Amino acid sequence: MLDVQLLEDESMVILQPDGELSESDFAAAAERIDPFIERTGGLRGILIHVESFPGWDSFAAMTTHLQFIKEHHKQVAKIALVTDSPIGAFAETVVGHFICAEVKHFPFADVADAKRWIQQLDA
């Protein structure tokens, strides 16, 4: 399951995976996020908050996740990976080269710092 919290006033989405991710998780996330992006032109940021990466329930779920990233990364300014998983540091270093959004890793307990970082306007 993927909990999706859209904070419209902050132009931010908080994603909290709980268990393996499914195809329907990404469809539900897009249903919540896409109307806001269409109305406003984009998101200031996405905050992904998960202690350790849960993986996917199928290969189809993984490809749906990659498609979700492909369809949304140009409309998101920043992605905060708030996790104690080693994937967080890896993603900050590697994934940022393949997507438009700025990516930064934070320890799992540092949600407030991640939110502040997303809200900062870059000069």
CATH number, domain at 53? 3.30.750
The two tokens of residue 103 are 């990516």
pLDDT of residue 90: 67
Edge-to-edge strands of the sheet including 76-82? 2-7, 12-17, 43-49, 76-82, 102-106
Q: Based on the structure, what is the number of domains in the chain?
A: 1
Domain housing 42: 2-119
Query: Average pLDDT in the 1-15 region?
Result: 95
Q: What are residue 12's DSSP bridge partners?
A: 7, 45
Mean pLDDT calculated for residue range 17-21: 90
pTM above 0.85, yes or no: yes
Assess contact for 38 and 53: CB atoms under 8 A. Answer: no
User: Can you give the pLDDT at residue 100?
Assistant: 78
pLDDT digits (tens, 9 = 90+) for 32-41: 999 999 999 9
pLDDT tens per residue, range 59-101? 888 888 778 877 777 889 999 999 988 777 767 767 666 777 8
